[in-house]
Amino acid sequence: MTSAERQKANREYYARRGRCYRCKEHPPVLPGKTLCPACSQKRREISQKWYQSRKQSGLCPACMKRPPTEGHFDCEACRQRRLALGRANNWYYGSRRKEKDRHEHQYAN
């Protein structure tokens, strides 16, 4: 079993028991979440420190390979990848939203 598979199994194990998978003591507040509020806050703080330290280095915080492009926080390659992902997600959700609106409009009268 790989490390990723073991982590996933642990998360699922504690989720079934209604416990935070990090501290294993407190239940998560929101359904579908795997961390309690205290662990979630710790993770958020660590992520912010990590991001700020990468940003301070003068390189793209996502890949740490190239400097960010002028006026943006990430390099051109990461920016294009992020925008493409956003366009793909917006196309899917946008088309679903239009389909739902068309359906509601059709039966509104």
Cα(first)–Cα(last) distance of the chain, in Å? 57
| Confidence tier at 109 by pLDDT (50, 70, 90) | very low
Question: Rounded to whole angstroms, how far apart are CA atoms 48 and 56?
Answer: 12
Kindly list the domain boundaries of the chain, sorted by start residue: 57-109
User: Which bin fits 12, alpha (ψ -120 to 50), beta or left (φ > 0)?
Assistant: alpha
pLDDT per residue as tens digits for the range 61-96: 888 899 998 988 889 999 898 888 877 666 655 555
Rounded to two decimals, what is the model's pTM? 0.57
